[in-house]
Amino acid sequence: MRISHGATRVRASFDDPNLVSCAGLEPVMALAQRCDLHGIVAARLRLPTDKGSNASGKVVAIVAGMLTGADSIDDLDVLRHGGMPILFSSVYAPSTLGSFLRAFTHGHVRQLQAAARQFLVRLAGQVPLLPSAGAVTFVDVDSLLRRVYGKQKQGAGFGHAKVGGYQVLLRGLNPLVATISTPDAAPVIAATQLRAGNAGSARGAAALIAEAVATTKAVLAAQAAQSVTAATTAATVAAEIMVRADSAFYSRTVITACRRARVRFSVTVRIDAKVRRAITAIGEDAWTEIRYPQPVWDEDQQRFISRAQIAETTYTAFEDTRHEVTARLIARRVPDLNKTGVDEQGALFTVWRYHAAFTDSPYVLVQAEAQHRGHAIIEQVFAELIDGPLAHLPSGRFNANNAWLACIAIAHNLTRTAATLAGRPHATARAATIRRHLINVAGRISRHARTVTIHLPQHWPWQHNWLRLFTTAHGPTRLTIHTGQSHAADAGHPQRQTPSSH
């Protein structure tokens, strides 16, 4: 593609008061208004002084900025350009929003987190966010280290992170996140908590799991309430909920929290001497070979792995304590080509590398092991957040950054809901793709006969999805849209997947 005119024949001028760069923000915020985001935050959040006046409006402004891709307080100024005051009211300056965030205490953050969870339940009551929830619903818990550089950042500390395959110490803050997903649905965020950079991965995980499971049950109940048939409603309410986590969360408090909430658990286990003895006791005829859907890169062996062997045994964790639990130990092994062994007769034999998961899953071995590996989906959520508002933790105040994290959860869930309404191609798309296709679309605003018209680019490749979102978000249409064509494409619905029981 080349420029079709000479450089001397083109001019640029920032002078159009009716132009907006993110016209897709209008239907997304209409969806937030339909689900009463303002009312939920206003009922929950009570922030003192003049900094906390109209707290709900300021929270919604922060969320709106994040929806467009803002990853710092200054970036929230994207809401104050061109014709944005025509589409939205209560648009605040970044300095006002920064002062608002710095006024938060830990108690106010907890209020905002409760509002975020309630808003997710309200979204689920309007839109089927979790298709196939009648089969099994997964709650994934994990943490990551977000590097910070400011010397005055409250809570910043050195923690372990993996960079380029190496474990390194980095100075940062440590968000803890729990997500909800199903086999056919992209994850939504159920709970968040920001911790100091030197916090252990499992610190506060039990309390977060309790909140996430309670939110999951409320989401499933809200989604079941809008189901058409009684059978679908009953299946959704009775669905299995499984908490998945990596080895950093293998602790008695986490397992106890899952059992207290009466949900299943599937947690990676560190290969210590006791676990190794249990795996070694498994007979050779008990191992089953599996193939990965896609080859996986192994950093230790520097090669792709496409197959492995799995088996299971019974294992008792935390023996001789009041937290003693007996459940399944699912082991997976792959040959270590960098090592070889020699038996007593001098013959070479395969040296295996083992991975294990402790679970009370009711599903058959192959399915239970595949479901546990599906925990890696939370890494995709982290990648999307880092590519968006979690690129920075922008304030020097710890509680301000914690409130920023809670707003990230609201923005992520609202993005996912809008993408679900737009149609199947966007329901599982990356957040950056959703922003590019549906939100950050340039539009020119005109007004005539008490009607506001948003003129969008003709032949926009995703105009049918955009119109589907707009029509659903508004219900009875209050705006008219001109895109060159007037019909909207229909999108299919993913089929339900029912797991087989063991």
Whole-number pLDDT of residue 101: 97
Task: Report CA 17 to chain centroid distance, whole Å.
Answer: 36
Residue 353, pLDDT score: 87
Q: Which residues fall within 8 angstroms of residue 85, CB to CB, at 6 or more apart? A: 91
**CA-closest candidate to residue 502, choices 359, 315, 375:** 359
Q: Could you read off the pLDDT of 162-207 as tens digits, one per residue?
A: 776 678 889 999 999 999 999 989 999 999 999 999 998 899 999 9
| Pairing status of strand 325-342 against strand 348-359 | antiparallel
> Does pLDDT of 315 surpass 90?
yes
Can you give the pLDDT at residue 2? 78
Candidates 377, 128, 129; CA nearest to 244 is 377
Q: What is the percent of the chain with per-residue pLDDT over 90, rounded to a whole number?
A: 73
268-277 confidence digits (pLDDT tens): 999 999 999 9
* 185-199, 213-227, 340-354, range with the lowest pLDDT: 340-354
Backbone angles phi, psi at 441, to 5 degrees: -115, 125
Q: Tell me what pLDDT residue 205 has.
A: 96
Tell whether the model's pLDDT for residue 477 goes beyond 50. Answer: no
- Mean pLDDT lowest for which of 52-66, 293-307, 402-416? 293-307
Average pLDDT, the chain: 88
Indicate the DSSP class of residue 387: T
Closest to 392 (Cα-Cα) out of 176, 173, 199: 173
**What b-and-e string marks burial along 157-185, b requiring 16 or more CB atoms within 10 Å of the CB?**
bebebeeeeeeeeebbbbbbbbbbbbbbb
Residue 272 to residue 237: CA distance in whole angstroms: 38
The answer to whether the beta carbons of residues 240 and 182 sit under 8 Å apart is no
Rounded to whole angstroms, how far apart are CA atoms 387 and 374? 22
Rounded Cα gap, residues 380 and 105, in angstroms: 30
Is 261:205 a contact under the CB 8 Å cutoff?
A: no
The residue among 449, 440, 275 whose CA lies nearest residue 358 is 275
**Backbone angles phi and psi of 494, in degrees to 5:** -65, 145
**Is the CB of residue 453 less than 8 Å from the CB of residue 480?**
yes
The SS3 assignment for 318 reads coil
Q: In angstroms, rounded to a whole number, what is the distance separating the alpha carbons of residues 164 and 149?
A: 20
With contact defined as beta carbons under 8 Å apart, do 327 and 358 qualify? yes
Pairing of strands 157-163, 303-317: unpaired
**pLDDT, position 238:** 59
pLDDT of 404 reads 98
- Distance, first Cα to last Cα, the chain: 58
| pLDDT on residue 9 | 80
Quickly tell me which residue has 């906390």 as its tokens.
52
Q: Is the pLDDT of residue 233 over 80?
A: no
Name the DSSP letter for residue 45: -
Is the full-model pTM beyond 0.85? yes
Q: Residue 10: which pLDDT band, with cuts at 50, 70 and 90?
A: confident
C-alpha–C-alpha distance, residues 41 and 227, integer Å: 27
Judged against a pLDDT cut of 50, whether residue 487 lies above it is answered with no
Q: Which residues of 253-277 are buried (b: 16+ CB within 10 A; e: fewer)?
A: bbbbbbeebebbbbbbbeeeeebee
pLDDT at 132 over 50: yes
Q: Is the pLDDT reported for residue 228 higher than 70?
A: no
Lowest mean pLDDT among 25-34, 96-105, 378-387, 484-493: 484-493
Q: pLDDT at position 236, please?
A: 56
- Alpha-carbon distances of 262 from 161, 210, 222, 239, 328, rounded to whole Å: 32, 10, 19, 12, 17
